[in-house]
Amino acid sequence: MAITLDGIAKGYIVDMASSYLRGRGVSQIIVEAGGDLALQGMREDGQPWKVGITHPRAFTGYYDVIQSSNACMATSGDYENAFTPDYKYNHIIDPGTGFSPQELCSATVIARDTLLADALATAAMVMGVDETLKLLESLDGAEALLIGKDLKSYTTSGYRALSEHLST
């Protein structure tokens, strides 16, 4: 086992790639790396981009779909690198306990940049629902969809405005 920068590396790479494209005058951008992505502009048909959020247990469909023309987001989940079939032990380790957290199975965070979204999504998995929602509600422009081990959803106050499935 090792401590790595995987919790922020993909977000950083996505930010650098989207910055490069913007610097070259590209206005319609979608850059994705392993679930972390940056969106800018509209699709060719003039509609906002649609992004599916993987269902953490039903790998054939989406738990939710969001629409946006300008967003940076990242998802972290216990299903990405599980060491056991029940997901109890996975690649996310709570430094306070030395074990994988047991409250959430997925955390998707939308933030001002993908690096921040990536770091917050990983931290959310360790922090749990209450601490994460409190933190994200205090950050301007940060939104989240947290999915508990029981597959119940928890969202920040502004998330549902982006959501196609959880809007009601």
| Sign, Cα dihedral of 144, 97, 5, 138 | positive
In this prediction, residue 168 carries a pLDDT of: 44
Q: What percent of the chain clears pLDDT 90, i.e. is strictly above it? A: 76
DSSP 3-state assignment of 66?
A: strand
* DSSP-assigned letters across all residues of 109-122: EEESSHHHHHHHHH
For residues 136 and 123, the answer to whether their CB atoms sit within 8 Å is no
In this prediction, residue 117 carries a pLDDT of: 97
Mean predicted confidence (pLDDT) in 119-132: 97
Is the pLDDT score of 114 beyond 60?
yes
User: Helix, strand, coil: what percent of the chain each, to 5?
Assistant: 25, 30, 45
- The residue that leads in pLDDT, 91 or 45, is 45
Of 44, 69, 64, residue with least CA distance to 54 = 64
Interval 50-103: pLDDT, tens: 999 999 999 788 999 999 999 999 999 998 888 888 878 788 888 899 898 999
- Structural fold of domain 6-161: T-fold (3.10.520)
In this prediction, residue 121 carries a pLDDT of: 96
In this prediction, residue 1 carries a pLDDT of: 58
Predicted model pTM: 0.91
Domain ranges of the chain: 6-161
In this prediction, residue 3 carries a pLDDT of: 65
Is the pLDDT score of 167 beyond 60?
no
Interval 1-15: pLDDT, tens: 566 666 688 999 999
